[in-house]
Amino acid sequence: MSPDSKSSDGLVVDSTLQSICYKRGSLQLLDQRKLPLETEYLDIQDATDGWNAIRDMVVRGAPAIAIAAALSLAVEVANLKDFNGTSGDAASFLEIKLEYLVSSRPTAVNLSDAAIKLKEIVLKAASTATVPGSVFQAYIEAAEVMLDDDVASNKAIGSYGAIFLQHQRKNSKRFSVLTHCNTGSLATAGYGTALGVIRALHAEGVLERAYCTETRPFNQGSRLTAFELVHEKIPATLIADSAAAALMKEGHVSAVIVGADRVAANGDTANKIGTYSLALCAMYHHIPFYVAAPLTSIDLSISSGQEIIIEERSAKELLHSRGGLGEQVAASGILVWNPAFDVTPANLIAGIITEKVLSLSPSLCVYVHIDIHHTRACVSISY
């Protein structure tokens, strides 16, 4: 894969729609802060580089963050020379690095979930390994499996979502969907979650139009989602965040589909700031509001959205243009409140679409079985 290839007319070709370019011992992350005007990949050599890339929004999107973190450490240990220690020391080394990576962005559950799973694999390997290299090898292989699994789960989400929405819209052959932030190939290892559903609807020939919000203050919608939609030749329109209610009132929106950074056991969902506002508008205008996310985004350890830690971003993102990267646009001395996420209550969510199951949940108050956790949760999931 060539991370810097471009077409003759200046548009970025398929390879540059990948946020993560990996081969064993080497990792490059697409610097999404510079899209859509520049395409630049940054070399990630260790966990510290990975932590900085995640914190500084070089890579973003809950699934992509988890994969990038895991692979940054895989690259570090793949190139590690002369490790002096036992198998247990190697496991401890990896555990400490994983905890460090989780601290980069605390709201997205995918990152902490990946870290927990990788720790379990590392400890199991250490219990039988006679040399530290075997522990490192087990970690590298597990991180690579996560990369492959993310792409597969994204495509399943898109397929399930397209089938589900067509079933729900029996009286309409074609319909339009509004989405928020960026949930496509750039937010995942490939294909996307909510944007993956939109891709699948377009492939089925039933999508009238996709609408994307600009998603201030970092403009993930105007910079990234619009970029992906144009590239895929999907009929799409960009709107200001504040225009969503008016668009719904005009009857142009059949459904709203967003991603998720964390879903609580009762169905409350944390996602990019502004998601809650869209859900309220959708409820008022009798438009179904759906969440599309992998099962790794569902956190049954917390009972409700009140327990979700909401990250607060730098004031500079509001005070300066281009999400903090440009010139100052606000008055000096003004105070800023800049939460990265908000929590949408479960009663505003019509359903949750995952890679394993379809969540048909008009009220999100019917307790049903989630087989992979062998427990029950207030997220209505059916096969």
Catalytic residue among 261, 268, 299, 342: 261
- Let me know: does 260 contact 227? Beta carbons within 8 Å: no
d(CA 230, CA 217): 21
> For this structure, is 261 an active site residue?
yes
Amino acid in the structure at residue 31: D
Q: How far is CA 205 from the centre of its chain?
A: 25
d(CA 25, CA 131): 20
Catalytic residue numbers read: 261
